[in-house]
Amino acid sequence: MSTNPRHEIQEKIEEGDLRWLLLKTGELHGHFCPFVALGVKASVIAIRRLRAFTEGIDEDILAIVETNNCFADGVQMTTGCTFGNNALIFRDVGKTAMTLALRGGKGIRVLVKPGYPEAMTADNPEAKNLFERFIRRREKGTPEEMRRLKDVWEALSFAQLEVPDDKQFKVEEVTVALPGHAPIHPSLVCAECGEAFMETRGRMKNGDPVCLPCSGDSYFVLEGGGIRMI
């Protein structure tokens, strides 16, 4: 028997139950914040628009995110395109935008409008102040202040679901160049540390295969600040 573990999520997307989807995304993301809500909403918009020229959402689709902040978790949970299933592409360009695309390259790109994040807290001085102090400047607040931040931020997260889409997003049809399916490579065992590694990530050292860390060569890491070579 084959099961579709995302059956319920897909049903909620059909129904447009954004609240349920945001609550579900909290399980992955760990907190409720405005950008995770925007990621959920942008994904639902893209899924619906992409359906306008496909038969369904169970085709081979990929998501491209242009930022590795909270927004990206809304995209992963809602689209089902994740870091682990190779259907997620990260373009490290620092834009709050996502694209949902078919393997053929036809896609929908949803971008948070410039100025919207600032407008979000413009008429909410408390939220603006808490964000400035405890998120942007990473100040350490009292337990009470941190609780307040969580509450205000959570309220602002759910409030995003009520804002009309066209205030938040620019939506466009795009054609993107996409890679083929992720290849599966055999493993080798490192002559130095004894750990198995993907063949393409190895180097030869004194005639034996070694893993990248043991080779001393540089490699890419994805961290909070983006992708960099170490």
Please name the helix (run of DSSP H) or strand (run of DSSP E) that holds residue 188, with its range, or none. Answer: strand 187-189
Among 193, 196, 221, 222, binds Zn ion (CB under 5 A): 193
Report how far apart, in Å, the C-alpha atoms of 116 and of each of 38, 86, 163 are: 11, 30, 11
CB atoms within 10 A of CB 191: 16
Contact 90, 37 (CB under 8 A): no
Under the binding rule (CB under 5 A), the answer on residue 192 touching Zn ion is yes
Under the binding rule (CB under 5 A), the answer on residue 70 touching Zn ion is yes
Q: Which two tokens stand for residue 90?
A: 């990260």
154 or 178: whose CB is closer to Zn ion? 154
178 or 191: whose CB is closer to Zn ion? 191
Q: Identity (one letter) of the amino acid at 54? A: T
What is the nearest approach in angstroms of Zn ion to the Cβ of residue 19? Answer: 17
Q: How many residues bind Zn ion (CB under 5 A)?
A: 8
- Per-residue binder mask for Zn ion (CB under 5 A), 24-53, x = binder: ---------x--x-----------------
Report the helix count and the strand count for the chain, using DSSP H and E: 9, 11
Q: Pick the piece of the chain touching Zn ion (CB under 5 A) from 59-67, 130-138, 162-170, 186-194.
A: 186-194
49 or 148: whose CB is closer to Zn ion? 148
What is the nearest approach in angstroms of Zn ion to the Cβ of residue 86? Answer: 24
Please name the helix (run of DSSP H) or strand (run of DSSP E) that holds residue 61, with its range, or none. Answer: strand 61-65
What is the nearest approach in angstroms of Zn ion to the Cβ of residue 74? Answer: 9
Under the binding rule (CB under 5 A), the answer on residue 190 touching Zn ion is yes
Contact 97, 112 (CB under 8 A): yes
In a 3-state reduction of DSSP, which class is residue 187? Answer: strand
Binding site for Zn ion (CB under 5 A): 33, 36, 70, 190, 192-193, 211, 214
